[in-house]
Chain A
Amino acid sequence: MAGNRVKVILTVAAIAAVIMLLKSPQQEAPLFESRLMMDTIISIRAYPVISKKQLDAAFAEFAKVESKASFHLENSELSALNRNGSLGAASSLTPLLQIAADYFARTDGYFDPSFASLQKAYGFYSGEGRLPGEDEIAGLLRDRCGLGQVLLQNEEGFKLASGSLIDLGGIAGGYAIEKAARVLRESGCSGFLIDDAGDIWFEGSKPDSSNWRIAVRDPRDNGTLALVESRAPLAISTSGDYERFITVDGKRYGHIMNPHSGRPVDYYSSVTIIASEPVTADALSTAVFAMPPEIAFKWVEERNLAVLFLTSTGTIHLSRAGRQYFRQAEAQ
């Protein structure tokens, strides 16, 4: 009889322990660190806590990508290409340029890193905004833009048309996230999230097995436009007109250009894309942002992309695939 009493008490104690365990994982804080790199803030959140060396190795991947793909660093390989008009086949920039060329083709030219020439003409790099005239824009579109025309690859390497400029900012972040994720994965980190200025990748699980929870910022009031929750790995990227812009005569112009008109687009306030790879989310959010709604809505449906559009008039449009991922934020 005494044995039964012990069994019952142990059973109930075990149930109690399970209930208590439901609480304990929340108390395990992740490692979270932010660093200023690639002209922005990169954050890594890792469960369980990894070593400083492993974290440094992950951040080092961003530094490596920046050292070769920065538009602003004079000694980067990209700057050498922009300056000299050529780059050897052995360059470590080759994979990134090939990815850029691939997305240029896949997006019908809406993702175009050679728009840097246009962006320069508008003063996005100097910070002194101006509106180029029709002739100037037409000349830039004809002679210096269109990655498929201005960047040629042969066995010797790459040749860039005279006067053309390439800015890989539209994919360098996503590319660096993929490299850093590989480092974290190989170091045995079981769950992590990488945030490159709002371009996000997460994989693995949190200690309490809860979903990763990502908010989509509402640029109108800084609140939450939507939430994405998932346990499966996802890349989420948003393009908007509110962080990089010029102001001319009191009017704001965003940095993403329509490839046909050469003018900054103003169809949307933000476009958020979910993809299975960071580079894809990064490149496609830029490309879709550049597309007029009548093209973009159809284009994303044909590719079954999960996309949340906030149009410049304040209308929210969700692609069919997007309805599986985006949900309305609860009222505060």
Chain B
Amino acid sequence: MKDNIPPIFAGKHDWLILLALLAVSLLAWAGHHHGRSDSFNGACRVRILTEPPQELVFNQAQPRPVEVKGRTGLAVIEWGSDKRIRISSSACPCKTCVNMGWTDSSSLICVPNGIIVEPLVNTGQKVDAVTR
């Protein structure tokens, strides 16, 4: 009876092939999830709602402030020593964006100047949107 059950691994190297397949899959999965770590490194996307719209992506905190030109003039984006981001100045009348201060999660928005600074966590956004 036992002899009638076909062996799962007929060839002596088959199990190696199967193990390799599984290992590659698991490594890819683990690598992907490791890449979704929530640690913030100062990466952000800057959307500038000019015509045409522009988009800048900074993959990490920048050592020096960056100037971007919005609809009403220049805005300065600055990274702190803790890698948080702020809009330190903007050519807008109300300065709401400047008063929003430092962030590592919420978007900073300057409506008059048409500038949105979105903190990014590694390659993906941590949240889909922020209610404020």
Question: Which A residues have a C-beta under 8 Å from some C-beta of B?
Answer: 1-2, 4-5, 8-9, 12-13, 15-16, 19-20, 22-23, 26, 33-36, 39-41, 43, 45, 127, 193, 195, 197-200, 202, 212-217, 219, 221-224, 227-228, 236-238, 240, 242-243, 270, 272, 329-330, 332
For chain B, residues 81 to 122, give those with C-beta under 8 angstroms from any C-beta of chain A. Answer: 93-94, 96, 99-106, 108-109, 111, 114, 116
Given A1-B6, A23-B32: A198 and B130 interface contact (C-beta under 8 Å): yes
For chain B, residues 9 to 62, give those with C-beta under 8 angstroms from any C-beta of chain A. Answer: 9-11, 14, 17-18, 21-22, 24-26, 28-29, 32, 36, 38-40, 47, 49, 53
Contact A217 B126 (CB under 8 A): no
Contact A16 B24 (CB under 8 A): yes
Contact A45 B26 (CB under 8 A): no
Could you tell me the distance between the alpha carbons of A121 and B18 in the complex, rounded to whole angstroms?
Answer: 76
| Interfacial chain B residues near A40, Cβ < 8 Å | 111
- Per-position 1/0 for B72-85, Cβ under 8 A of A: 00000000000000
> Which of A26, A35, A222 neighbours the largest number of chain B CB atoms within 10 Å of its CB?
A222
Query: Closest 5 interchain pairs by CB?
Result: A217-B132, A198-B132, A19-B25, A222-B103, A16-B25
Q: A193 contacts which of B7, B28, B129 (Cβ < 8 Å)?
A: B129
Q: B131 contacts which of A20, A41, A237 (Cβ < 8 Å)?
A: A237
Could you tell me the distance between the alpha carbons of A39 and B93 in the complex, rounded to whole angstroms?
Answer: 14
What are some 12 contacts across the A-B interface (CB < 8 A)? Answer: A5-B14, A9-B14, A34-B47, A40-B111, A45-B128, A198-B131, A216-B131, A222-B102, A222-B103, A222-B105, A223-B103, A224-B106
Contact B18 A217 (CB under 8 A): no
B1 adjacent to chain A (CB < 8 Å): no
Given A12-B22, A16-B22, A19-B29: A215 and B105 interface contact (C-beta under 8 Å): yes
Count the A-B residue pairs with Cβ separation under 8 angstroms: how many? 140
| Interfacial chain A residues near B8, Cβ < 8 Å | 4, 8
Given A19-B25, A215-B130: A41 and B49 interface contact (C-beta under 8 Å): yes
Contact B132 A224 (CB under 8 A): no
Closest-CB distance, B125 to chain A (whole angstroms): 9
Q: How many of chain B's residues have a CB under 8 angstroms from any CB in A?
A: 49
Could you tell me the distance between the alpha carbons of A329 and B93 in the complex, rounded to whole angstroms?
Answer: 33
Contact A195 B129 (CB under 8 A): yes
Q: A9 contacts which of B18, B96, B104, B126 (Cβ < 8 Å)?
A: B18
Contact B18 A8 (CB under 8 A): yes
